Structures are given as structure tokens and as C-alpha cells.
Homo-oligomer: A and B are copies of this chain.
């Protein structure tokens, strides 16, 4: 099968290249970059040196392919969606442009009049754990927000069971989440060793939480984001105030029922050792989302801890997983790297 990546110069694009070049069922036919066309892809993605002779081409030269991955910045996919659809039977779009079902949500969260609202319902939210069946028949899958995903996967079993009154979620994120453009805030002397509140009260990814965790109600979720010293990775800490008193074994049961057969979700909760709860440190390059929890004694607070690699399960990994589902490949194909320890 032939695949291509439109907008392959960024970090998610590079990660797609890494995954797809090793995927047994696909051939990467093209990767576009308007700024770097003509250059070998390993100039921007130095880990691919010696792995491919592929060079960036212009978007206008994109060949017809079976699956097109789009890794453009937000807001730049929807205006070109007809063009993209004309070159590929199937599209997996990593941007935010088709993640939300309602055009009005784009007005509200992105302050943006969606230019192709008729396309919104053609896309399936591309998180197989929540939309596997719809993805099997889908031609178009959206990307997922990395912060949204680390929380959606952690909270979904609880919200589906309508157990949660209110949640305060904090996500700690690494610097790759900001993309590959240098800014004053990403300058190493300024970004190094921060514990920096960058969105204390709101973040656009909340839109994806409200959409995916609704189950009839608007979920009551309060979100904060903090940058930490890390390149890859996100840790979600969700303080869920439950409607009823539950025991630890009830929570175990709930998560097991939800995720026992999920190849990329691991319940991490052990009594001994250093890695007793999920940690992004050991997930770099892997497609896992690890989930753990602890009940507060004497209260209705359940702390759910979740970790993933924002470029993998939070972006390119889930995109390839979605393609696997859409194309009928084994779901873990090309995504079997377990992560490194120590690192």
C-alpha cells in the first residue's frame, strides 16, 4: 500500500516517517515540505539518516496514494480538504481541524469559522480505544490532541459509568508538544528545568474531553497545563470526585472491563519498586498509554494517573494505529517498540 505524508517537516511528521518507513504493509511514496523540498528527509529528522533516501517534495507534486497522512498546523487542513481527498482514498489528519463534530465548537474553542463544516461528519475521531468500530469503516480519521488523549483514556471508563461528579486535571508536558519552531520561550536557557504554568485555567483540548466524555451530560472538568523539563511525554493527574464510595477493587474492575483487551493500554499500579505509577519517562517512542490510580482515604477523591509519549500515542502513533484499523492490518503493526529503560 502506498502512503504519503503532507507536511512532514515537523515533529509529528518525522515520527510518522519513522513509523511508516518500518511498517511491513506500507511504502512511503512521498513526504512534503514547502520550506525544505528537495532536501533529504534526514536533514530534519536526523534519526532517519541511512534509513531512507526520501526527499521532501512540494505539496503540489503529491502523488495519488492509498492513505494520506496530514501533519499540517491547525487551521491549514480544512481549507485544503478537497485537494487532499482528491489524491487519497483514505486520510488520517493529525491536526485539530476535524476532531470536533460541531462547527460551533470551532467558533468557541478555536475562534475560527470552520471553512468546511460539511466534512466534519465524514471524519471519525481517530482514537481506536473509543471509536474502533466506526474507524473500521471510515475513510477519514481525525487526529487526537495529546493532552486530550492522556485524559480521555484515563477518564473514559469512569465517565462512561457516570461515576464522576467533578474532575480537576493537571497535565505536565514536555517541550516537543510546542512543535519545532524556536520561540523566546523555547530557547534552551529559558525552557530548561522549568515547572511553568502555561495554561492554568483553560486549553483547547478541553473541547475534545467534553466531546468524548459527555455521555449525555457536559462533563465537569477543570484543566491546567504545566510545562516540565522533558522533551517527549505527558503525565495527566486527574482528581476525580466520585458520586459514590467505591473500593479499589471496583476501580480495578472498571478499568479491566474497559481495557483488558486493549493492546496499548496498561494498568500500572504496583506496591513495590520505583515505577509504581505511570511515568512518561519510559514511554518515549512507544505507543502505550499507562494508567494507574489511587483512592484517597476518607474522601471521594480518586486520583487517576496517566502517561504517554505525546508524539506517539498522543499523535503519530495513534494515527498509525487508526490506519491499521481502517485498513484491516493488525492493530499493533509497526507500533511494537516497547520503550527504553533507563533513559
* Alpha-carbon distance A47/B288, docked complex (angstroms): 10
Residues of chain B contacted by A230 (CB below 8 angstroms): 193, 195, 229
Decide if A239 is an interface residue (CB 8 Å cutoff). yes
Question: Looking at the complex, which of A60-68, A74-82, A91-99, A180-188 is the stretch in contact with chain B?
Answer: A180-188
Residues of chain B contacted by A45 (CB below 8 angstroms): 341
- B180 and A189 contact, CB distance less than 8 A: yes
- A47 and B341 contact, CB distance less than 8 A: yes
State the 10 A-B residue pairs at the shortest beta-carbon distance, nearest first: A189-B342, A46-B275, A229-B229, A188-B191, A201-B296, A182-B187, A175-B188, A195-B235, A200-B294, A47-B341
Decide if A226 is an interface residue (CB 8 Å cutoff). yes
Residues of chain B contacted by A197 (CB below 8 angstroms): 235, 237, 277-279, 292, 294, 303, 305
Residues of chain B contacted by A50 (CB below 8 angstroms): 266, 288
* Alpha-carbon distance A45/B266, docked complex (angstroms): 15
Q: CB < 8 Å: which of B175, B193, B279 contacts A196?
A: B279
Decide if A25 is an interface residue (CB 8 Å cutoff). no
- B297 and A201 contact, CB distance less than 8 A: yes
Q: CB < 8 Å: which of B49, B229, B340 contacts A268?
A: B49
Q: CB < 8 Å: which of B11, B224, B338 contacts A18?
A: B338
Residues of chain B contacted by A338 (CB below 8 angstroms): 18, 21-22, 47-48, 51
Please state the number of chain copies in the assembly: 4
* With A175-B188, A222-B239, A279-B194: A273-B340 Cβ-Cβ less than 8 Å: no
* With A202-B297, A286-B47: A303-B228 Cβ-Cβ less than 8 Å: no
Residues of A whose CB lies within 8 Å of any CB of B are 11, 14, 18, 21-22, 43-51, 168, 170, 172, 174-176, 180-197, 200-202, 222, 224, 226, 228-233, 235, 237, 239, 266, 268, 270, 272-275, 277-282, 284-286, 288, 290, 292, 294-297, 299, 301, 303, 305, 307, 336-343
* With A186-B182, A297-B202, A301-B201: A341-B191 Cβ-Cβ less than 8 Å: no
CB A246 to nearest CB in B, in angstroms, measures: 14
* With A232-B342, A232-B343, A305-B197: A226-B172 Cβ-Cβ less than 8 Å: yes
* Alpha-carbon distance A101/B193, docked complex (angstroms): 37
Residue of B nearest to A239 (CB): B168
Q: CB < 8 Å: which of B168, B172, B224, B274 contacts A228?
A: B172
* Alpha-carbon distance A187/B176, docked complex (angstroms): 10
Residues of chain B contacted by A274 (CB below 8 angstroms): 46, 184-185, 190
Residues of chain B contacted by A237 (CB below 8 angstroms): 170, 197, 200, 224, 226
* Alpha-carbon distance A341/B15, docked complex (angstroms): 8
- A200 and B303 contact, CB distance less than 8 A: yes
* Alpha-carbon distance A275/B191, docked complex (angstroms): 10
- A233 and B195 contact, CB distance less than 8 A: yes
Q: Which of A170, A273, A275, A307 has the most CB of B within 10 A?
A: A275
Residues of chain B contacted by A14 (CB below 8 angstroms): 341
